[in-house]
Amino acid sequence: MQTETRVGFGYDVHRFGPNTYEQGLVRLCGVDIPFDQALTGHSDADVGMHALCDAIYGALADGDIGAHFPPSDPQWKGAESHVFLRHAAGLIAKAGGRLVNCDVTLVCEQPKISPHRPAMRAALADILGVAVSRVAVKATTSEGLGFTGRQEGIAAHAVVSVEVPRSDDAAQAAAVDALMAGGLLE
């Protein structure tokens, strides 16, 4: 069976503020970190996991986290984000594919991420059903600049690579045929 490798990118932001989920901690990449502020959100506000979900949905060209789990739907109020990530991982499996690797970057001045990196990688790998070696979690500050620098919230970026069975793209072939017919391609 021929396969193809696809790439997806995800980005998310949550602001510091009141959260109906839990005060006194932030949940990042599945790990609860004691902190003097919480992240505001409809769910547990796990910004890293949300970015990772969107990266997977992007790789599969299958909507985004808001389309699959609308914030307007009360059943997702206070939801734990592993539900979302399991769903995204399930779509990879449903497509007959596998996650090659993922790479998450958290952007914040506080809390310090590095002490929690091993636990975050383990938590994400467990939810995704892959080896820890396929999961990277990185962190950076923004040098005091912008909303993350002012400690108004946390941003997360994620990239994934997914291997799926190759599908011949009839539309792409038709487009090439049309260009050749028009003399724009030889």
Residue 15's Cβ-count burial label (10 Å; 0-12, 13-18, 19+) is: middle
Q: Which is nearer to Mg ion, 39 or 128 (CB)?
A: 39
Minimum CB separation of residue 156 from Mg ion in Å reads 9
Residues 1-40 that bind Mg ion (CB under 5 A): 12
d(CA 6, CA 162) in angstroms, rounded, equals: 5
Residues 108-167 that bind Mg ion (CB under 5 A): none
Instruction: Indicate if the alpha-carbon torsion angle 21, 27, 31, 32 is positive or negative.
Output: negative
Minimum CB separation of residue 56 from Mg ion in Å reads 14
53, 62, 20: which is closest to 39 by C-alpha? 20
Number of residues this chain uses to bind Mg ion (CB under 5 A):
2
- Using the 8-state DSSP alphabet, how is residue 143 labeled? T
Q: Which is nearer to Mg ion, 52 or 113 (CB)?
A: 52
Residue type at 73? D
d(CA 103, CA 8) in angstroms, rounded, equals: 11
- Using the 8-state DSSP alphabet, how is residue 142 labeled? -
Minimum CB separation of residue 79 from Mg ion in Å reads 11
Q: Which is nearer to Mg ion, 11 or 62 (CB)?
A: 11
Give the contact letters, 41-60, x = binds to Mg ion (CB under 5 A), - = no: ---------x----------
Which residues of this protein are in contact with Mg ion, per CB under 5 A? 12, 50
